[in-house]
Structure 1
Amino acid sequence: MDSSPPAPQSSDPPASSGTQGAHVPAQRRAHPSESGPPAEPATTASSDTPADASAAPPQEERFWKAGRLEPMPIRSLPKAPPSIHILGPTVFLVALGVGMGESYMWPRLVLIFGPEIRWLFLIGLSLQAVVMLEMSRYAMATGESIFYGAARVFKPLMWFFFLTAILVYIWPGHLSAGASAFERVTGIPWQATAVAGMLLVGVVFTLAKVIYDLLENVLSVCIGLLVVGTSVVAAMVGDLSDLTSTLSGMFAFGYLPDEAMTAAWFPIIVGAIAFAGPSGMQQMWYTLHLRDKGAGMGAHIPKIRGLRHAGEQETMPSRGFMFDTSDPAEMAKWKGWRRWVTFDALVLFWGITMLVTISFTVLAQSAARTDPQVTELIRAGDREASLDAMAGAFSAAGSPVLGTVFFLFIALIGLNATLGLFDSFSRGQADMTYNFVPGAKRFGLSKLYSMFLWGLIGFGILILLFGPADGPAAILDVLAFLSAFAMGAYCVVLLLVNNITLPKPIRPGIVSNAIIAFAAVFYLGALFYSLFAFGVVVD
């Protein structure tokens, strides 16, 4: 990214331009090049200075105006990498998608209601794959986060998510649930392990040179271990009938036993649907990971550095960029980026998440055979009974050591999710603060990131040691149900941002819009039905 200083500002104000109509807006300014950071308008020639007849006329810089915020300069879209690739920014959604919902909440539901309940998981995960594609549309086209896009539509929408993130993600649910599993292996109190884990995450992120690069590498290794390990053990423990019922259960559409529609279980089912894949605002934060990966127009934006290397942070532009959607060559590159992210969504995100949850569902059914009392224990309020039963199924496969391995898998999942969540929360809050809080730019994005990170860690430690929650599973249930509200809300915002702020040639089609609208109704409808029908939001 070119770091040359901006040219002096022109005395002529730019012409106004709307977001509708032409592919490239009429708004123009002079600029020195079509690549690198945006250049401010060049100074007009003085009437006292003779013109150089041999000098070439300056190029005109074109802008795309979206909303009332600063227009986006037109830049060249980088060439897309090959569609088939290993994990990139999707690793964050996979790390969060292959989380406590798949390993803990859904196996618990399978033990109570049978594998047929998994049709709700299929719907939830498939909806999230489409959401992922539509979130990436705005991020790759502009280099901006979806939060910035929301501000272009109506700034209070962005502040709503700023506050929602604090409300939902200050609770250390994932790490505490993983620490609870680790306690079963070592005997170390889960609170102590969770506190140590949060401090470790903070130190690692503070020392990292480029936070995104470190996380992508660490999470790729952890996910590989998890996917291979659970698949192997599930094959050892389960049998063909378990696999068959698991797969057929995904297509038992409409299956909802009477017990599922009670105040005791319906709110938990709603939360589990939200946890079918990455929950809550994690899809919104994915737009920031795409930017740091350099996907699409994100290539024009610097990466966030750890606090130790904050002095090396390049200046962040005050807005994103747009490419020329009237240029066939640029549109061909755009289609290449869409193929790249579609592979991520369908093969890596949907496929890996589904594979892991199939493994855990097989384990849950095997656990029910090994420990026939587990279902009644869960109904009686023993939240951790499903984990104990699945550990027993692991042990029954050949060695008590496998039961220990199972709990280590759960602990690894909790660590994966915590790495992703702590980074994502800090990244999202810092992005909104940097761009929209007066005076925040003087701190720099990396320092703001660190402030939110350590604030989150400090509050999490206080909650774990002195908070009112009655254990890690209770924290997780609260976080899961609140996530459903955030997901319904961001689907509405996503419809507005993509259909109002983007040029017409790259807006979503009618099918994508219909699916996102259905997702909004699905999440919000289930949440408010639970609230008004049962008067409860969590168990």
Structure 2
Amino acid sequence: MTKAVRTVPMGLGPAMEVGELPAPPPFTFRNFMQMVGVSAILISISIGSGEWLLGPRSVIQYGPALLWIATVATVLQTVFNLECQRYTLATGESVIPGLMRLWPGRWFWGPVWALICILSVSPGWAASSATALAALHLGRLPGDADRGLVLVYGILAMLLVMLVVAFGTRVERTLTRVSTIAVVFIFASLVILDLWLVPWEWWGRVAAGFFQFGYLPSGEGGSVNWTLIGGFAAYAATGGVLNMAASNWMRDRGWGMGSQVGYIPALIGGRKVEVSTTGKIFDLTAESLARFRQWLRYCRWEQWTLYFGGCLLGMYLCVLLAVGLIAPGTPLPGNYDIAAIQAHAVSQFIGGLGWVWVLLIGFWVLWGTQINATDAVVRHLTDLLWSAGLGRWTRDDIRVVYYIILAVVTVWLAFLFAYNPLTLVLLVANMAGVAFVVGGLTLLWLNTRILPPELRPGWLSRVGLVAISAFYAFFVYQTAVQVLRQLQGV
């Protein structure tokens, strides 16, 4: 006899089946290290967006005192990540399809989040990493005459993104391995270069900047670049919908109820996996609640140790190298990324080795961000369409949806290569601020109204979600006012 399937209503979306929450491995240091992976992907995105590009540029222009923004941003984004993961641990559903359950429903929130996702990815990281490759090829900083070469390398970098995520058993596992290798190489290289080249006086000055809370540059006539500062604030850790992908990657790792709904397999080396169009909830028993708290414990340890610590350390090391070699206030060209500029500065001290070394760091930092950011947006759009029932048109193979969207996004990004890489990064960074304004409040709504009372966040997490919306609303407002004034010629 077939066992009857029980369901429970969950907001405005379809009812969820009731399943069993699996028990996590016993919490030991060895098990913890074997289970981590989401933080490696998030740190890989973080170090390319804020730490390598916008952090050094902001600090060189306005001084280390601006780094308090990174401290606040990293605290708030860690809380945000954990609340995204809370929902997925409880339901197995990634957070953006979860937000479709809120009033007035998916026909309102679907287009809103699809638009935010599309505007949150650009080829700016690939184009900037291409600058590093072009500099290696030329043996000098690329100029305007070398634009064609940079374009070729940039398109090759985007194609490499598609190639890498096509192999493996599951996409998340491939990203974790690539990100882990990149993060280890980048951090080890930065520590060595900072110890070797940066004067000791800068170590304390940069560290102090993380605690100079409230400092903001002042200027008249629009001399403060709020687009840069707003982008730096959003990308000081990860950034908007890229943070929200923590729930998708965790689901694909099989944490909590994520093990009950399936994952996105790779195109080559993977196999067709049955992926549910909706989440699954568990019975609220003493045993299941204890298991849920243990899963949350793993999440909190990963986020507050590896993610939080890794983001702040990455920002510190990247900014330290930049300001130790490039005098504050030095004008930085907007056409090419800071990787080639830092490589040139390092080469003045240690010759050709420094030139090649820093350019390779820059490539790995920026290309690693491109692959993970592209995957994050593609899987958000995939989950949106899959939860809407698109599986029936693809023989229930989620790979078809994922790789078609990846191909379309890649073609779209190729058309954007004509634009300034830094401009593209700044645009998507400020869109990340918008995502936090909307996402902080809607995530609070989701976790305090849709989840059962026993699984809802405590008051500190609720305050954190309100704070992240307010924090980024300030920078979004300042940026919007400045852009409008520039358009009006004020």
TM norm structure 1? 0.82
Of residues 86, 94, 102, the one that matches 1:137 is: 86
Correspondences of 1:52-451 after superposition (within 5 Å)? 62-81=6-25, 82=27, 84=29, 85-86=32-33, 87-153=36-102, 154-155=105-106, 156-169=108-121, 171-187=122-138, 189-259=149-219, 262=222, 264-308=224-268, 312-325=271-284, 327-368=285-326, 372=327, 375-378=329-332, 382=334, 384=336, 386-437=338-389, 439-440=392-393, 442=395, 444-451=397-404
Name the counterpart of 1:45.
Answer: none
In structure 1, distance between residues paired with 2:306 and 2:485: 36
Cα–Cα, structure 1 residues 537 and 152, in superposed 2: closer, same or farther, change >3 Å? Answer: farther
Q: Distance in 1 between matches of 2:127 and 2:387?
A: 33
CA distance in 2, matches of 1:260, 1:472: 28
Residue aligned with 2:7, SS: strand
Q: Residues of 2 paired with 1:286 and 1:536: CA distance?
A: 36
Q: Contact 1:527–1:537 at 8 Å: present in 2 too? A: no
Tell me the CA shift for residue 329 of structure 1.
1.5
Q: Deviations over 1:510-535 (max 9, x none)?
A: 11111111111221232123323552
Unaligned runs of 5+ in 2: 139-145
Partner SS, residue 100 of structure 2: helix
| Partner residue of 1:505 out of 429, 454, 457 | 454
Distance 1:385 1:478, change over 3 A: closer
**DSSP-derived class of the 2:193 partner:** helix
Query: What amino acid is aligned across from residue 398 of structure 2 in structure 1?
Result: L
Q: Check whether the contact 1:267–1:536 (CA below 8 A) recurs between aligned residues.
A: no
Counterpart residue number, 1:462: 415
What's the offset of the Cα at 1:390? 2.7
- Cα deviations by residue, 1:248-267 (Å, 9 ceiling, x for unpaired): 11111111221499355112
Kept in 1: contact 2:39–2:306 (CA 8 A): yes
Which string of whole-angstrom CA distances, capped at 9 and with x for unpartnered residues, describes residues 143-198 of structure 1? Answer: 001112111113222331112212332x2111111111222222382211111111
C-alpha deviation, 1:392, in angstroms: 4.1
Query: 1:341-371 deviations in whole A, cap 9, x for unaligned?
Result: 1111111111112112111121122113xxx
After superposition, the Cα gap between the structure-2 partners of 1:304 and 1:536, relative to the gap in structure 1 and judged at 3 Å, is farther
**Structure with greater proportional helix content:** 2
- Length-normalised TM-score, structure 2: 0.90
Q: How much is the aligned-residue C-alpha RMSD, in angstroms? A: 2.3
Give how far 1:78 is off. Answer: 1.6
CA distance in 1, matches of 2:168, 2:59: 40
What amino acid sits opposite 1:175 in the alignment?
A
Q: Which shifted more, 83-92 or 496-505? A: 83-92
CA distance in 2 between counterparts of 1:485 and 1:97 reads 17
Does structure 1 retain, via aligned residues, the 8 Å contact 2:95–2:247? yes
Distance 1:180 1:389, change over 3 A: closer
AA at the equivalent of 1:126: V
Instruction: Kindly provide the amino acid, as one letter, of the partner of residue 375 in structure 1.
Output: G
- 2:369 & 2:158 partners in 1: Cα distance? 12
Query: Secondary structure of the equivalent of 2:275?
Result: coil
Contact 1:302 1:313 in 2 (8 A): no
- Verify: 1:528 aligned to 2:482, yes or no: no
Give CA deviations for 1:81-139 in whole Å, capped at 9, x if unaligned: 33643331222211111113101211111112211110111111111111111111001
1:417 positional shift:
0.8
SS of the equivalent of 1:74 reads strand
Structure 2 counterpart SS, 1:168: coil
1:73 alignment partner, SS class: strand
Query: Which secondary structure state, in structure 2, belongs to the residue aligned with residue 305 of structure 1?
Result: coil
Q: Which amino acid aligns with 1:472?
A: P
